[in-house]
Amino acid sequence: MTTGSSGALSVALCRDPRQFAALEEPWNALFRSCRTATPFQSHAWLHSWWLSYGRDGRLRVVLVRRGGELVGAAALMLVHRPLPLLVPLGGGITDHSDVLVADEYADRVVPALARGLHQAARGAVVDLREVRPGAAAEAVFAQWPGARSRLADSTCMELPALPFDELVKRMPASGAQRVRAKLRKTDAAGIEEREVTEYEVPRAVRTLLRLHEKQWRGRGVTPEHLRPRFAEHLTRATRRMVRTGEGRLTEFRLEGRVVAANVTLLSGSFSGGYLYGADPDLRTRKVDVATLLLRYETGRALEDGRQVVSFLRGSEPYKNHWRPETVVNQRFLMARTALAPLLRLHESQVTGRERAVGALREALPAARDWRARLGELRVR
C-alpha cells in the first residue's frame, strides 16, 4: 500500500486483496455515512465479487482517511482489453457503480479522492459505468483534473415506496382492475412468504437459482446466472448482506413447497429487487409472480422507511405498467491530460458499439416479422 497526503487527509492505494478483506468494518461505517450509496457499494458485495471474478495483481482500491477514519474509497480493477482501463469492481452483474464519500467531509474528500484516482490511473483510462444520477462519483468527475467525458448508460426503473393500493391507483383504470383481479387469485392460492436467516442462505440461493433456470428455460436465460462462480458470489454476498441488514432473501411457499424466491439488496433509502426465481407452474394457478413480489417489496420498504423501490436495470414492458420513473445511469470516462487521445479512442469504440447494438435492436422486430411470415408460408 502506497500513501500520500492531502492536508489533514491521507490518500492510499491498496493493491493487496488481504488488506481489502480486512477493511470490512471501516468500509461498512463509510458505506453507512454516504447517503447516495447503493447496496452494490457495500463491502459484502464488492469483496465477494472480487473473490469470484477478480484477477491476481489487478486490484486497485483508492482510500482516503481522516486520521484513522476511512472517509472515501473507490474500488477498482485494472484490465487491459480492449485497452488499459480502471473499471469498478462488480462488473456486468452490478446494476449501480459509484465511489464512497462520507457526507460530513465531502467538500474535502472529493478533491482528495479525485487526486488519488488521477495518480492511480497512470497509463489507464478510468471507466466508471452504471453511475446513478446524484451519485458521489458525479462530484469526483466534476473535479477531475485531466481529460473527461460523460456518456449515457443503462436505463433503470424506480417507484416511490407507497402503499400498494396507491401504486395501483397510478395505473390506467383497466390495468388497475386487472392487477386487483390477479391479487385476488394469488391470495386465494394461499401463498405464504418467509424471509430466510443468514444460515439458511446457501440452501435458499440454490433453490432460487434452480427456480430461476426453470422459469427462463427455453427463453434465453442470462448465461452468467447459471455459472458456479455466480452462485458462489451470490451465496457469499447475500449471506453477509442478510447479516448486516443490507439484503434479504424471501421465499414464497405454497402447500409447504418453495415456489418463488427473491433477493433484495438494501441501502439507506434504496431497495432493489436483484434476482428472483419462480416455478412456471404458478401460471396454471393464475398467480402473477411479478405483482406478488412487488406488493411484498413495497410493503417491506415502507416498514423500513425506505423511499425508493427499484426494478434496477432494464425497461421491460411489465415494469412500465406501474408508471415508474425512468432513471438513466451515467458512464464517466476520465484520464490524465496526456492520455486524452486514448480516452477519445475508447469513447469512440464505446459509442460505435452502442450504435451497432441500437441498430440491431431496431432490426430485431423486422427480423421476427420476417421469420413469422416465413413460418406462415411453410404452413401453407
211, pLDDT greater than 90 = yes
β-partners of residue 157 are: 312, 326
- Predicted TM-score (pTM) above 0.85: yes
175, pLDDT greater than 60 = yes
The closest alpha carbon to 201, from 256, 257, 266, 247, belongs to: 247
Angle at alpha carbon of residue 151, lines to 145 and 156, rounded to 5°: 125
Cβ(161)–Cβ(302) below 8 Å: yes
Dihedral of the alpha carbons of 344, 345, 351, 355, in degrees to the nearest 10: 140
* Nine cell digits for residue 105: 467531509
Which band of pLDDT confidence, cut at 50, 70 and 90, is reported for residue 218? confident
Tens-place pLDDT, residues 293-317 = 999 999 999 999 999 999 999 888 8
The closest alpha carbon to 281, from 311, 263, 258, belongs to: 258
**φ, ψ for residue 351, nearest 5 deg:** -65, -30
Three-state secondary-structure class, residue 100: strand
The closest alpha carbon to 85, from 57, 122, 45, 40, belongs to: 122
**φ, ψ for residue 15, nearest 5 deg:** -115, -5
Outline where DSSP puts E strands in the chain.
Answer: 2-6, 9-14, 59-66, 69-79, 85-88, 100-101, 125-131, 147-160, 192-195, 247-254, 257-267, 270-278, 308-313, 325-335
**φ, ψ for residue 323, nearest 5 deg:** 55, 55
**φ, ψ for residue 314, nearest 5 deg:** 110, 145
Which band of pLDDT confidence, cut at 50, 70 and 90, is reported for residue 368? very low
The closest alpha carbon to 354, from 155, 220, 156, 157, belongs to: 155
Mean pLDDT of 145-160: 95
Cβ(262)–Cβ(275) below 8 Å: yes
Query: What is d(CA 276, CA 297) in angstroms, rounded to the nearest whole number?
Result: 12
49, pLDDT greater than 90 = yes
β-partners of residue 264 are: 248, 273
One-letter amino acid of 40 = F
Query: What is d(CA 141, CA 217) in angstroms, rounded to the nearest whole number?
Result: 42
Query: What is d(CA 359, CA 367) in angstroms, rounded to the nearest whole number?
Result: 12
Tens-place pLDDT, residues 9-23 = 999 999 999 999 999
Which band of pLDDT confidence, cut at 50, 70 and 90, is reported for residue 364? very low
Helix (H) or strand (E) holding 210: helix 201-216
Instruction: State the distance between the two ends of the chain, measured CA to CA, in whole angstroms.
Output: 72
Better-predicted residue by pLDDT, 76 or 368? 76
**φ, ψ for residue 367, nearest 5 deg:** -65, -40
* Nine cell digits for residue 179: 392487477
For the chain, how many helices (H) and strands (E)?
12, 14
The closest alpha carbon to 39, from 292, 310, 228, belongs to: 310
Tens-place pLDDT, residues 72-115 = 999 999 999 879 999 999 999 999 999 999 999 999 999 999 99
Mean pLDDT of 147-151: 97
Mean pLDDT of 35-52: 97
CA dihedral sign, ordered 239, 241, 243, 246:
negative
Cβ(242)–Cβ(235) below 8 Å: no
Cβ(263)–Cβ(30) below 8 Å: no
DSSP 316: -
Which band of pLDDT confidence, cut at 50, 70 and 90, is reported for residue 354? confident
Cβ(54)–Cβ(233) below 8 Å: no
Which pLDDT score, from 0 to 100, does residue 357 have?
64
